[in-house]
Amino acid sequence: MEKLTRENLYSLEKYAEIRSQFRAQIMAHKKERKVPIGPHATLYFEDRLTIQYQIQEIRKREQMLGLPKKKLVETGYYRLERIHDAYRKYSVKETSSNDRKTILIAPSWGPSNVIESYGDELSDMLLNAGYNVIVRPHPETARRSRKLLNKLKNKYGNNEAFKLELSISSDDSVLGADLLICDCSGIALEYALGTERPVLFLDTPIKIKNDNYAELRIKPFELSIRSEIGNVLSPEKLGEVPSVIAEMITDTSGYKQRLSELREKHIFSFGESSKISSEHIIKLADARIESYQERSV
C-alpha cells in the first residue's frame, strides 16, 4: 500500500454524500485502536484510514466555515526513527557470545490473538528448538487474561531462556529479539522498519468491529504489508514455526536491504521528523508574532 496522497481523498462533493456512513465506519475502526494507560490518559494508534478521516473532516470544516485550506506537513514517524536509532546503537554495543537466538512474541489483543490462541504451544516449541523466548502481551491482554499469563509464568518461569514481559515501557526486547512473532499488531511495523529484521505472522482471525469496512475499499496497511516484511503462516502449520524461523533468520542481510527500501518507500522524511516539525512550528510562531507586531504599530 502506498502513502496516503491527495489523489486518495474524496472530493468535497463526494464526501458530503458519504460523510455520515464514513464517520460511523471510522468510529468503529478507531474503537480497537486505543489503549487506556491510566485514569487521565489514553493512547490512540493512528493508521492510513484514521488519518484520511482527519484530513477529510478538516477539508469539510474549511468548506463549511469558508476557511483557507490547511497546509499538511509530511513530518514522518518519530517513534520509528527513535527505535531505528536505538537499534543502531544497540547493535554496535552488543557483543554477546550467546549463540541462542531470541524470539519475541508480541501480538495484538483479543480472543484470537497469538498468545491467547497458541502462547503455551509456541513457547514450548521454541524453547525445545533452542531459542530464547520473550512473551510480551498487549497491555489489554495483560489486564484481561491474567489467568493465562500466570499459567505461562508458572510453567516456564524457572526456565532461564523464557521471559514474560508485562510492561511496554522499555524497547529492550524489541531491540534484542532476532525475530518477532505477531498477528496484526502495529508493533510489527515498528520492529521490522525500525530494526530491519523480519516478522513471522500467524494468520489468526482478524478483529473486525466494522462489518462494512470493505465498502471503504482500503485494505489496512498493517495487513497489506505483512508478506513484504516477513512471512505469513497459517496456524494449521504451527509445527513448521521453528523451521520457518531458522530459514528467515539466515536471510538477515536480505531482509535488512528489503526493509530499508520499504521504509524509504512508505515513510515520510525518515530521520527528519523532529527537524521538520520544529521548523514548521517556529515558522508559524514567527508569522504570528510578526502579524501581532504589525497590528500593534
The pLDDT of residue 272: 93
Same domain, 241 and 281: no
Q: Is residue 55 part of a domain?
A: no
Same domain, 103 and 201: yes
Same domain, 282 and 229: no
Q: Is residue 259 part of a domain?
A: yes
Contact 199, 105 (CB under 8 A): no
The pLDDT of residue 92: 79
Domain count of the fold of the chain: 2
How far is it between the farthest Cα atoms of the chain? 78
Q: Is residue 59 part of a domain?
A: no
Q: Is residue 277 part of a domain?
A: yes
Same domain, 138 and 163: yes
The pLDDT of residue 219: 75
Q: Rounded to two decimals, what is the model's pTM?
A: 0.74
Same domain, 120 and 233: yes
Same domain, 289 and 234: no
Three-class secondary structure of residue 220 per DSSP? coil
Full pLDDT tens readout for the chain, 297 residues: 457 777 788 888 888 888 888 888 888 888 777 777 776 677 778 888 888 888 888 888 788 778 777 777 888 889 999 999 999 999 877 655 567 999 999 999 888 899 999 999 999 999 999 999 999 999 999 999 999 999 999 999 999 999 999 988 899 999 999 999 999 888 999 999 999 999 999 999 987 777 776 766 667 788 889 999 999 999 999 999 999 999 999 999 999 999 999 999 889 899 999 999 999 999 989 988 988 888 876
Same domain, 280 and 229: no
DSSP character for 269?
A: T
Same domain, 262 and 275: no
Q: Is residue 130 part of a domain?
A: yes
What are the phi and psi torsion angles at 69 (to 5°)? -65, 140
Same domain, 172 and 157: yes
Q: Is residue 21 part of a domain?
A: no
Same domain, 215 and 144: yes
Same domain, 178 and 282: no
Same domain, 120 and 258: yes
Burial call 143-177: b when 16+ CB within 10 Å, e when fewer: ebbeeebeebeeebeeeeebbbbeebeebebbbbb
Work out the number of other CB atoms within 10 angstroms of the CB of residue 217: 6
Question: Looking at residue 90, which CATH number applies to its domain?
Answer: 3.40.50.2000
Structural domain boundaries enclosing 283:
271-297
38: enclosing H helix or E strand? strand 34-38
Q: Is residue 14 part of a domain?
A: no
Cell numbers for 112:
484470537
Q: Is residue 188 part of a domain?
A: yes
The pLDDT of residue 217: 66
The pLDDT of residue 97: 53
| Nearest in space to 230 (alpha carbons), one of 265, 263, 267, 189 | 189
